[in-house]
Amino acid sequence: MLFLIIKRIFLGLITLFIVSLITFIGTEVLPGDACTTYLEREAYGAALEACYKRLGLDIPAYERYLSWAYNVIQGDFGYSLSGQMPINEVLGPRIKNSMVLASAAIIIGIPLALILGIITALWRDKLPDITISTITIFAMTIPEFISATLLILIVAIWLQWLPGIVIVPTDVTFFELLPNIILPVIAIAMIMTAHMARMVRSSVIQVMATDYVQMAILKGVPYWQMVFKHVLPNALLPAINVVALTIAWLLGGVVVTEVVFNYPGLGRLVIESISNRDLPTVQALAIILASIYVSINLIADLMTLMLNPRLKSLQIRK
Amino acid sequence: MEISKISEEKQKNLLSKVLEVLKTMASRPSGFIGLSILAFHILLAFLSPYLAPYDYKAIDPSLMLQAPSSEYWFGTDSLGRDVFTRTIMGGRTALTITFFGSIIALLWGGLLGIFCGLVGGKIDDVVMRIVDAFLSIPWILAMLLIVSLLGTSTEVLIPALGFFYGKGIVRVARAATHDVIAKDFIVSARARGHSNFSIIWNEIIPNVRDAILVEGAMRWSWMLLGFSSLSFLGFGVSPPTPDWGLMISNARGLMSFAYWSVIAPIVGLSSLIIGINLTADAFAKALGIDRSTKAPV
Amino acid sequence: MENIIHSVKNLSIGFRSKKNDEISILRNVTTNIKKGETVGIVGESGSGKSTLALAMMGYVKQGLYTIEGECLFESSNLLKMKNKDLEQIRGRKIAMIPQNAGQSLTPNLKIGYQIDEALRLHTKFNKNERDKKISELLNKVRLPSPETMAFRYPHELSGGQQQRVAVAMALAGKPDLLLLDEPTTGLDVTTQAHVLELLKFIAKDTGTSMVYVSHDLGAIAQVSDRIIVMYAGEIVLEGPARSILKSPIHPYTYGLLKSIPKLSLSGLPDSMPGSQPQPGNIGIGCSFYDRCKIAEDKCKKNSPSLEHILELQTSVRCFNYKNLKKFNDKINSITQKKNISKGVNEILNLTDVSISYAKQKILDQILNKITDTNPTVKDINIEIKKGETIALVGESGSGKSTILKSIAGLLKIKDGKIKFENDRVLSSDLKKRDSNDLRAIQLIFQNPDESLNPNHTVEQILSQPLKLYFSLTGNELKKKVAELLNKVRLGEFYMTRYPRQLSGGEKQRVAVARAFAAKPDIILCDEVTSALDVSVQAAVLNLLQTLKEDFGTTYIFVSHDLAVVRAISDRVAVLYQGRLCEIGPSKNVYQFPSHPYTEVLLGAVLEPDPDIKPKLVAKDIVEEKPPEKGCCFQGRCPRILGDKCKNETPPWQIGDDGNAIRCHISVEDLKKNQIKK
């Protein structure tokens, strides 16, 4: 068991290492660098060299990678080019804000997806299933920027119930933030819930068709006891990993949603730093987002390991 | 003579198979709706330059933000351009780029996946690790980076999208290959001494083809979603080319008093994405593949 | 009548096809189950027997519906009952023992919980009493260490143990009627005999009525008082077990019994032509018309009704059953195999072959060494003569398929040599064999569903070896494919069909044709008939025999079924845990004296004859690994001598008739002990 956990963590770290290499090489081989971007037309001669020296771009790439990686491991991402301040200071409040948004979406989304998925599976091809399934297809296919735009148009502009655009300073407190995040959370949660509900549905349907569920019925187990004891534990276990992948994938959606609502999170920072060609910040963002992805998947793997009696006893025996 | 007859027969079989699949797809209401929407959009993409009542880039400040009327069916935008014209033409770039992008994704993802599934071992481990690493970089970050550094020309967008959306196909193709490869008919072919190429071509591809095609259809809708998001963020099609994502982005600041210029492209883009999605769903069902268990990676 | 516990009346169950036609799976089934009796329902796959058993619990599978009729239990119709009321009957009054217990036990719940659940639902015991009852039940089904068994998960148990848990679970509610749906199918021969023995004991002990559903007449014969034979959704014969098995008066039952290979008879069983019609393809006449030897014109147009014959207490669905009576004396006769002249030349020689599945350590990988002191397969020495059929027999885990795979070059061997024709060493690496060696050895697999590419037509499937080995193209190729199809008794029109359009037997014929397309010297047959129905199995065995007589091919035939092996093979090698126990001419291996393991296997075979009872001599345990030293069979041997067997590898002894036995007990002693019994 311990060995498996260590192995998964190790694999996650390897993934992060490859990500760091990819982003570093990626930003390196592409034409144009921080100095040419920063200095624009004055990027020649002494000014350029001075800039290189200041940013340490005059030393070989692999050395820069090593010292950068060393600093990252220490938790130091270096200096942002555009803001002229430590990236850590730029990131801190942004991460917090995005976390608020994402966690709210997850806290609403997962239980809702479970309930909807189970309802649609148990009432398969009946009215509740047909209605909910049709809605989920729409919810999962429409891009976040469209649903977000429509939400603003309808709720904020026509009905004027909630603020449409978040106009708050970056370091806002949680309670000031709350009314502002309702619409973005709905926009993110909608697509995520729809995806997960569909997966839960098909997983439950698969389990409902197994021999052991038929056996439980033939044993005289009452319906709901069968659902909770025999169906759901087996249906939701494989769903954990898929749910994790969905959450990770939706990080991209968070970026777009933040832009639509002008929300001061990581997503808008992505757009800002890319527009400014602030490569150190972009690298930091890539590592952070990849770490989130890797850790979500790691947690899902570990949860599956803990909950699956098959794997559990396998470890005990060996 | 005889051989050509055989290959002719095979072609006929392929065509009749395609027709059969289309028929099965259209036999469900959702599949029929999806196919119709998709067909409508493809037709529109081909015909819109001839149907458009106005020049899509004709700017006229005097006609700014007009409400829908008999003259301008969907009204005009902030530069006085006809929203109807721009809406019916707004899917052309997106459709073209994502269509070719998905084909590229399908090809490299499918082939690499089959290869990894077949050879297994160390090569497989290394490739899958790299694919995993790419999967863990949010697509939007990677795309934005590529586009901002290399520009937004078609020559950049098609391979970039194709590459980024292909890595998920690698996994699917590899898993499908793994399923097939344990089957006795592959063992039988190996025991007979067929070459790896012959096994891939004759035994594996026909049996993983369906799964990969369905995956490709799915990628198409996600790629469209991704591409529109890029346009929306200002990193996709460059103006004045009409594009739904860009139109929504431009019009959204003014939607409190000119909602039409944002509604029209929203309807266009949403209907296309739903159409492709319903089609992909029906396609999967017609081929007997359940796609709802898969994560959108 | 008072003593009827369950009665099925005029029951038809079916489904709607895509074209909205009503297609019946069960047609007008009427029968009564009496208190305390055991009724065997026998039929091939697709005969509707499982649907009937489930309907008797008021359960109809999703997609199916009751067309008409009722299932009466305690004078209420289960098929119309509300779920709430059914919950009071299922598990309490009627209980089911499912076919595949491994898949019928919920994977995330411990054994104890699953039995406790049944107790909680159907008894009034309190917690302590229930705990005691669980141990009692587990004890009753003879599971080892019943106290700890309750804390284990289903996947930690062997197949036989899982089946026993299912029995315990069914007994928890003290049901009046037990339905058993193929409860021993998929188990090893010896395990199957033990489970069956347990079921018989339970029937006697509790006085429960039982309905035993199976395709296996051997198992049915051992347990049933009365037998119902089903064909294409109908009851075709129903009556006392003994008379049905000894003198069947329906042509299908007669043919079925003839087509079962029997241990007591050497030679191939008679086969029945064709296969059972699929639901929806059943004509207006008798459903058995196409395959019937005594059919007349009226059978084609009229469907016979079930006729009750009072003096025999038998119901039969046949116009001509009286004509069949005169055949009945011949039911135990069998056509002898032609004795084809076997060459004396050796074609394949396995010398000291060992095969290991153990993963190599990194260091050994570098040195390209396999270090495994206790490999899966060890010290196999077999010489195979040209033109003979040699069978490898054993239960699962005996290494028989592993040996086959390494002969085919699909698995590397650890030690030893495989020599082909004139002492040429055959590489165990496929890539190092030349094209002619590859051609010379062909494989036929167990499951034709998996061994044929579902996306190829029969023509494409058969073309593969022809193109590869003989570079045939165009007309020549097509002609050859047609020729091959004719050889396996399939018409040319099969060329354009896909595997999914063929029945199981037809698919296996295509697989046979594909193997013969290479003009091989040796064909490796891996359980080639075990996925087939009995009547189809006989036909495939006969086909293999005819082809062999025509081409002089050598067969290496792997099977777990001793009766099938008896029917087809010239020589038999008995394997246990990857070690050879006995080898010799088939006739002699099936006679005593034998290796104790052969004795155990032979004793466990279920014959479709109520007078031949299985003899259970060995311990009923499943070993996962062969012992490190000593005799491989020491763990289960009923005749173990003691330390000698545990420490020393037994020597080979040659028996009276040339069968070699690897045992510490002398042949004389074996003979004395075995024949006396």
**What CATH number is attached to the domain comprising A172?**
1.10.3720.10
Greatest mean pLDDT among B117-131, B245-259, C119-133 lies in: C119-133
pLDDT of residue B212: 87
pLDDT of residue A81: 67
Chains in contact with C, where contact requires at least 3 CB pairs less than 8 Å apart? A, B
Same domain? A131 vs A280: yes
**Residue B94 and residue B244 in contact, taking contact as beta carbons nearer than 8 Å:** yes
Alpha carbons within 13 angstroms on the beta-carbon side of residue B148 total 24
Domain count for chain B: 1
pLDDT of residue B19: 83
Has residue C293 got a pLDDT over 90?
no
CA distance C620 to C600: 11
Q: What percent of chain C has pLDDT over 90?
A: 24
> Lowest-confidence range among A120-129, B53-62, C303-312?
B53-62
Res. C180 pLDDT band, cuts 50 70 90: very high
> Average pLDDT in the A245-255 region?
74
Has residue A311 got a pLDDT over 70?
no
Residue of A nearest to C105 (CA): A212
Same domain? A246 vs A189: yes
CATH number at residue B71: 1.10.3720.10
| Mean pLDDT, all residues of chain B | 79
- DSSP summary character for residue C76: E
Judge: A144–B229 Cβ closer than 8 Å, yes or no: yes
| A90 domain-assigned | no
Compare A286 and A227 and report the one with higher pLDDT.
A227
Same domain? A254 vs A152: yes
pLDDT tens across C628-660, in order?
888 888 888 888 888 888 888 888 888 777 788
> Lowest-confidence range among B138-142, C183-187, C229-233?
B138-142
Provide the number of CB pairs (under 8 Å) joining chain A to chain C: 80
| Mean pLDDT, all residues of chain C | 86
Q: Which residues contact A224 (CB under 8 A, 6 or more apart)?
A: none
- DSSP summary character for residue B152: S
Return the beta strands (E) in chain B as ranges.
none
**ipTM score here?**
0.83
Which residue, C289, C284, C285, C258, is CA-closest to C272? C258
> Average pLDDT in the C103-131 region?
90
Res. A30 pLDDT band, cuts 50 70 90: low
CA angle, B125 as apex, B119 and B128 as ends, to 5°? 100
Has residue A4 got a pLDDT over 80?
no
What's the alpha-carbon Rg for chain C, to the nearest Å? 26
CA distance A155 to A149: 10
Residue type at C191 in one-letter notation? T
> Lowest-confidence range among B201-215, B237-251, C559-573?
B237-251
> Average pLDDT in the C485-502 region?
88
CA–CA min distance C456, chain B (Å):
8
Res. B2 pLDDT band, cuts 50 70 90: very low
pLDDT of residue C409: 87
Has residue A279 got a pLDDT over 80?
no
CA–CA min distance C427, chain A (Å):
35
Q: What is the DSSP string of B74-114?
A: T-B-TTS-BHHHHHHHTTHHHHHHHHHHHHHHHHHHHHHHH
- DSSP summary character for residue C336: P
**Residue C272 and residue C343 in contact, taking contact as beta carbons nearer than 8 Å:** no
Q: Which residues contact C543 (CB under 8 A, 6 or more apart)?
A: C488, C489, C509, C512
CA distance B238 to C222: 82
**Residue C398 and residue C577 in contact, taking contact as beta carbons nearer than 8 Å:** yes
CA distance C296 to C292: 9
pLDDT of residue A309: 67
Local structure of C129: helix, strand or coil: helix
Same domain? A229 vs A277: yes
| A220 domain-assigned | yes
| Mean pLDDT, all residues of chain A | 78
Same domain? A223 vs A287: yes
Strand pairing partners for C178?
A: C95, C210
Judge: C430–B193 Cβ closer than 8 Å, yes or no: yes
| A84 domain-assigned | no
CB distance from C514 to chain B under 8 Å?
yes
**Residue C553 and residue C521 in contact, taking contact as beta carbons nearer than 8 Å:** yes
Residue type at B54 in one-letter notation? Y
Judge: A220–C86 Cβ closer than 8 Å, yes or no: yes
Instruction: Give the count of beta carbons closer than 10 Å to the beta carbon of residue A192.
Output: 28
Same domain? A173 vs A49: no
Res. C39 pLDDT band, cuts 50 70 90: very high
> Lowest-confidence range among A149-158, B58-67, B111-120, C210-219?
B58-67
Q: What percent of chain A has pLDDT over 70?
A: 77
Q: How many residues does chain A have?
A: 318
- Give the range of the structural domain holding residue A37, as residue numbers without chain letter: 15-73
Judge: B189–C464 Cβ closer than 8 Å, yes or no: yes
Same domain? A57 vs A108: no
- Find the helix packing angle between B92-119 and B29-51, rounded to 10°: 130
Compare A29 and A68 and report the one with higher pLDDT.
A68
> Lowest-confidence range among A287-296, B29-38, B79-88, C376-385?
B79-88
Residues within 8 A of A (CB atoms), B 212-241 only: 221, 225-226, 228-229, 232-233
Same domain? A140 vs A220: yes
Instruction: Specify the pairing of strand C226-231 against strand C571-576.
Output: unpaired
CA distance B113 to C676: 64
Instruction: Specify the pairing of strand C209-214 against strand C38-42.
Output: parallel
Judge: A199–B295 Cβ closer than 8 Å, yes or no: yes
Same domain? A158 vs A296: yes
C179-191: b or e for each residue (b if 16 or more CB lie within 10 Å)?
bbbbbbeebbbbb
Does residue C489 come out as left (phi exceeding 0), alpha (psi in the -120 to 50 range) or beta?
left
**Residue A33 and residue A58 in contact, taking contact as beta carbons nearer than 8 Å:** no
The encoded tokens of residue C508 equal 């296996």
**Residue C557 and residue C394 in contact, taking contact as beta carbons nearer than 8 Å:** no
CA distance C97 to C92: 13
CA distance C104 to C158: 14
| A253 domain-assigned | yes
The encoded tokens of residue C576 equal 């246990």
Chains in contact with B, where contact requires at least 3 CB pairs less than 8 Å apart? A, C
Has residue B4 got a pLDDT over 60?
no
Residue from the list C439, C445, C469 with its beta carbon closest to the beta carbon of B188: C445
pLDDT of residue C370: 54
Res. C40 pLDDT band, cuts 50 70 90: very high
CA distance A141 to B291: 14
* Backbone CA torsion sign across A82, A87, A91, A92: negative
- Give the range of the structural domain holding residue B23, as residue numbers without chain letter: 2-296
Instruction: Specify the pairing of strand C424-425 against strand C652-654.
Output: unpaired
Res. A38 pLDDT band, cuts 50 70 90: low
pLDDT of residue C335: 62
Judge: B274–A142 Cβ closer than 8 Å, yes or no: yes
pLDDT tens across C196-210, in order?
888 888 888 888 999
> Average pLDDT in the A196-219 region?
89
CA A294 to chain centre: 10
Last residue of a domain, one of A43, A73, A103: A73
Domain count for chain A: 2
Instruction: Give the count of beta carbons closer than 10 Å to the beta carbon of residue B116.
Output: 23
CA–CA min distance C409, chain B (Å):
7
| A138 domain-assigned | yes
Same domain? A201 vs A53: no
pLDDT of residue B295: 44
CA–CA min distance A241, chain C (Å):
18
Judge: C89–A230 Cβ closer than 8 Å, yes or no: no
Compare B49 and C585 and report the one with higher pLDDT.
C585
Does residue C317 come out as left (phi exceeding 0), alpha (psi in the -120 to 50 range) or beta?
beta
pLDDT tens across B222-264, in order?
888 888 888 888 887 777 778 888 888 887 777 777 777 788 8
CA distance A262 to A148: 11
What pTM value is reported for the model? 0.83
pLDDT of residue B8: 44
Q: Which residues contact A201 (CB under 8 A, 6 or more apart)?
A: A116, A117, A118, A120, A121, A129, A133, B292
Return the beta strands (E) in C149-258 as ranges.
177-181, 209-214, 226-231, 234-240
CA distance A162 to C248: 84
> Average pLDDT in the C85-105 region?
89
| A2 domain-assigned | no
CA distance C29 to B185: 40
Judge: C430–B190 Cβ closer than 8 Å, yes or no: yes
pLDDT of residue C211: 93
CB distance from C507 to chain B under 8 Å?
no
Judge: C169–A219 Cβ closer than 8 Å, yes or no: yes
> Average pLDDT in the C664-673 region?
85
Judge: A230–C98 Cβ closer than 8 Å, yes or no: no
pLDDT of residue C511: 94
CA distance C168 to C140: 8
Compare C568 and A248 and report the one with higher pLDDT.
C568
Chain C CB contacts of B2 under 8 Å are 474-475, 478
**Residue B261 and residue B209 in contact, taking contact as beta carbons nearer than 8 Å:** no
Same domain? A235 vs A304: yes
Does residue C46 come out as left (phi exceeding 0), alpha (psi in the -120 to 50 range) or beta?
left
pLDDT of residue C411: 84
> Average pLDDT in the C422-447 region?
86
| A5 domain-assigned | no
Q: Using alpha carbons, list the distances in angstroms from residue C194 to C141, C174, C188, C606, C620.
A: 10, 22, 10, 11, 7
Same domain? A58 vs A164: no
pLDDT of residue B268: 85
